[in-house]
Amino acid sequence: MRVYRCFAFMDLSGFTALTAHEGDEPAVAVLSSFRSTVREICSRRGVRIDKWLGDGAMLVSVQPTPLLAALLEIELALERAHLPLRVRCGAADGEVILHEGDDYIGHAVNMAARLCDLAPGGEVLVTQELARERPGWSSIREAREQEIKGFDEPLSVAVIGLANLGPSAAPCPVCGIPVDPSVAAASSRDSSGASVWFCAESCQETWQRRPSSSTVHQGSLRVPLMGS
């Protein structure tokens, strides 16, 4: 069966060297933190972890924007966690064959894997076509033509990252991504009546489901519910 899907591959840049220099236990601790972060973010944003690949993962989504948002949030979360390694990501989309119900075969899968291989740590490298579907609080940092092994023609690719929104931006109270009213996907009011802006509706839903016993300011822009 042929279906449209968005794919991303990611891995921890330098994980093999970390294992060699620091030993197995520190490397496993880093890997556990990485996987825990990926699970939480993908679950909230509706992105499926198709498989774990040692120190990396393959992600699948029906829609492109949640996938790109998840990749950018994972980069931000791991940076704020001060892990000794950075994650590199590659993403592409297109029609593929869904084989035996749980395996994807096609050009888009191969392209996403190749882009991950080309990305340095801390970079999200995607096709320029897919970059048009990025969330409003992100930006294209670089666009270029890229030679890719196994592909006959150079591919138009883009590096995406968080946008520089200036002093008007405040962190989404769930994930900490900077947003302002011009790029926020949703808004609510906290218990004091102040406006709270969210990077995605899924973050708004998470915030609204927070425990009712929360303190007055928990979940407001002053005290983020998560990612503080």
Is pLDDT above 70 for 164? yes
Q: Is 223 in contact with 217 (CB distance < 8 Å)? A: yes
pLDDT band at 217 (very low <50, low <70, confident <90, very high): very low
CATH number of 2-162: 3.30.70.1230
pTM of the model: 0.89
Is pLDDT above 90 for 134? yes
pLDDT band at 96 (very low <50, low <70, confident <90, very high): very high
Show the 3-state SS of the chain. Answer: CEEEEEEEEEEEECHHHHHHHHCHHHHHHHHHHHHHHHHHHHHHHCCEEEEEECCEEEEEECCHHHHHHHHHHHHHHHHHCCCCCEEEEEEEEEEEEEECCCEEECHHHHHHHHHHHHCCCCCEEEEHHHHCCCCCCEEEEEEEEECCCCCCCCEEEEEEEECCCHHHCEECCCCCCEECCCCCCEEEECCCCCEEEECCHHHHHHHHCCCCCCCCCECCCCECCCCC
pLDDT at 226: 46
Domain ranges of the chain: 2-162, 164-228
